[in-house]
Structure 1
Amino acid sequence: MGNFVKDYQAKFLAEASAWYRDGELKYREDFWDGFEKAPKALNAMLTGYNFGKMIVRV
């Protein structure tokens, strides 16, 4: 088999950088405010409630 990541790393970085620069790369962040909401945020993440990165602001 081998390690194919290194074979495509440079190409991926170039293409992904261009997508980000051109606004074609979209992402979403879910924010939960307060440390006391961390357990609920974790549960939401584990049950598939969130989309994108789950962030708990303290």
Structure 2
Amino acid sequence: MTRLSKKTALTTGAARGIGEAIARRFAVEGALVWVTDVDPAGQSVADAIGGRFLRLDVR
């Protein structure tokens, strides 16, 4: 069992850079990860880690 199993993580700005790295780490630790970004490229990150994607602009 991993540390974050049965937990949900919401990451913003996760299409690239630090946000992507954080989303990937949450997934490794067992969390269900919501990848959010204004860039639709976040979908490929979500697909790669078994997460879910939401196109979102945080202001």
In which range does the TM-score fall when normalised by the shorter chain?
0.3 to 0.5
User: Normalising by the residue count of structure 2, what TM-score does the alignment of the two structures yield?
Assistant: 0.35
The structure whose residues are more often helix, as a share, is 1
Greater percentage in strand:
2
